Amino acid sequence: MPAGLNRALLTVAGVVIAIVLAIAISSVAITAAGASPLDAFAAFFDFGDSERAQSNGIAAFLNRAVPLFIAGLAVSVGFRMNLFNIGVEGQYRLAAIVAAYVGSTFTAPAPIQIAVIIIVAAATGGLYALIPAVMKVTRGVNEVIATIMLNYIALSLTAYLVRGPFAGERAAGQLTTTTPKLPESAMFPNLNFIFDWFGLVAPTRGGGLQGFLLVAIVLGVIVWIVLERTRFGFDVKASGLNGPAALASGVNPKKMIIAAMVMSGGIAGLIGLPEILGDKGAFNSNFTAGLGFLGIAVALLGRNKPVGIAFAALLFAFLDRAQGSLQFAGVPSSVVTIIQAVIVLLVVIANEVTNRLALRIEERRAAQQLGRDNDPVEVTA
């Protein structure tokens, strides 16, 4: 069996075993909480009783997966450079409020309006990620410490901006503050027509199936091409694995650190756009939080590969969507967090075990091949 296929099969087997063990461990936690594991797992597949509720549940599941996928991509770019960009959380929130405000200041045809908002969001996230990158290459500041501190700055800054300079008009009785509403041309068209293809009722909750799903797919393909099929991607990986060796081969690791962090931050800047362009039409004080930290788990689960990250995002979104159903079934919603944490922990362990097994198999094959090459050759007269 080819070495690459053997490693891939071991990886898949490790993930499957990890998920099975996670289900078993989670069942113990559910039982300890005084609930039935069967009721809990049945709730995960409960998308509602009516056709409308089922369509809304499917749309909510896919809409949740999109920002998780983008967050996983942002974190994975840093991981490829051996950088831990914990600042994705602050980068996407700051980018979201700046893009929402800039988009509300003018009106243009839809393609131009949406393109400007996306560019502003990516530029804001990339520039904010540039700060820890410059600190690392010039002063040797650890990116983990720098990005954690910058997260607090970004969160506080967005809280100030949404209540101060970027605040829009508040309706009577409205408890949250928001940026000014985006014009209609800024709203991304939904993909509800896909439900018509399958004979399902179109969803109505949360703006339906958000069209930013297509942007996420294109982004995943671009990231895969850049990291796997270009010189830049090779230089990033080489610099992350061994900086001095990369420098000796003509690659500047410091430039790669800056490039990787800016690229990671630029992708992170797009995380909040599905909610703004597909549903809310503005940034508000209750904007979805925690996506950057979940992106770390998604990237780890997906092994920093766009396809793996897509499956990991779908899994996390599937679990998150079930929180309401779990509460109706009398199961604490915290069970979702337990399952997610256990899956990530076990998958990381499984990845390490399978990597070692694959390495041993390859070493054994290499030794056997070397032994064959060194066998004496009989010479006949």
Taking the domains of the chain in order of start, what are their residue ranges? Answer: 1-46+326-369, 64-321
Asked if 136 and 256 touch (Cβ cutoff 8 Å), the reply is no
Q: Is 349 helix (H, G, I), strand (E, B) or coil?
A: helix
| Structure-token match 């970027």, residue found | 166
Task: Give which of 273, 293, 302 is closest to 80, Cα–Cα.
Answer: 302
User: What share of the chain in percent tops pLDDT 90?
Assistant: 58
Task: Give which of 150, 19, 11, 126 is closest to 77, Cα–Cα.
Answer: 126
Q: How many CA atoms lie within 13 A of 25 on its CB side?
A: 17
Asked if 281 and 186 touch (Cβ cutoff 8 Å), the reply is yes
Across 265-293, average pLDDT: 94
Is the pLDDT at 379 greater than 60? The verdict is no
Instruction: Give 301's pLDDT tier (boundaries 50, 70, 90).
Output: confident
Angle of CA points 223, 228, 234, to nearest 5° = 115
C-alpha distances (whole Å) from 129 to each of 28, 29, 116, 263, 332 are: 41, 39, 20, 8, 37
Across 18-44, average pLDDT: 84
Is the pLDDT at 347 greater than 60? The verdict is yes
Asked if 64 and 320 touch (Cβ cutoff 8 Å), the reply is yes
Average pLDDT, the chain: 89
pLDDT digits (tens, 9 = 90+) for 72-109: 999 999 999 999 999 999 999 999 999 999 999 999 99
Asked if 178 and 162 touch (Cβ cutoff 8 Å), the reply is yes
pLDDT for res 264: 97
pLDDT for res 329: 73
Instruction: Give 150's pLDDT tier (boundaries 50, 70, 90).
Output: very high
pLDDT for res 86: 93
pLDDT for res 2: 62
Helical pair 88-104 and 291-301, crossing angle rounded to 10 deg: 130
User: What share of the chain in percent tops pLDDT 70?
Assistant: 96
pLDDT for res 153: 97
Task: Give which of 8, 5, 68, 17 is closest to 306, Cα–Cα.
Answer: 68
Q: Which range among 8-12, 77-81, 339-343 shows the weakest confidence by mean pLDDT?
A: 8-12
Q: Which range among 101-110, 261-270, 331-340 shows the weakest confidence by mean pLDDT?
A: 331-340
User: In angstroms, rounded to a whole number, what is the distance separating the alpha carbons of residues 68 and 309?
Assistant: 9
pLDDT for res 83: 92
Instruction: Give 142's pLDDT tier (boundaries 50, 70, 90).
Output: very high
Across 160-182, average pLDDT: 87
pLDDT for res 189: 92
Rounded to the nearest angstrom, the gap between the alpha carbon of residue 198 and the centroid of all alpha carbons in its chain is 28
Instruction: Give 179's pLDDT tier (boundaries 50, 70, 90).
Output: very high
Is the pLDDT at 144 greater than 70? The verdict is yes
CATH 1.10.3470 is held by the domain 64-321: yes
pLDDT for res 259: 96
pLDDT for res 128: 98
Across 224-236, average pLDDT: 94
User: In angstroms, rounded to a whole number, what is the distance separating the alpha carbons of residues 323 and 43?
Assistant: 9
pLDDT for res 229: 93
Instruction: Give 3's pLDDT tier (boundaries 50, 70, 90).
Output: low
Instruction: Give 226's pLDDT tier (boundaries 50, 70, 90).
Output: very high
Is the pLDDT at 317 greater than 90? The verdict is yes
Which residues, 6 or more positions from 226, have their beta carbon under 8 angstroms from its beta carbon?
A: 232, 233, 263
Q: Which range among 38-47, 178-187, 281-290 shows the weakest confidence by mean pLDDT?
A: 38-47
C-alpha distances (whole Å) from 77 to each of 252, 256, 268, 381 are: 17, 11, 10, 62
Tally Cβ neighbours within 10 Å of residue 377: 4
Across 234-241, average pLDDT: 91
Q: Which range among 145-154, 343-352, 365-374 shows the weakest confidence by mean pLDDT?
A: 365-374
Angle of CA points 194, 197, 201, to nearest 5° = 75
At 261, which helix (H) or strand (E)? helix 253-268
Task: Give which of 279, 316, 277, 278 is closest to 295, Cα–Cα.
Answer: 316
Across 242-265, average pLDDT: 93
Q: Is 284 helix (H, G, I), strand (E, B) or coil?
A: strand
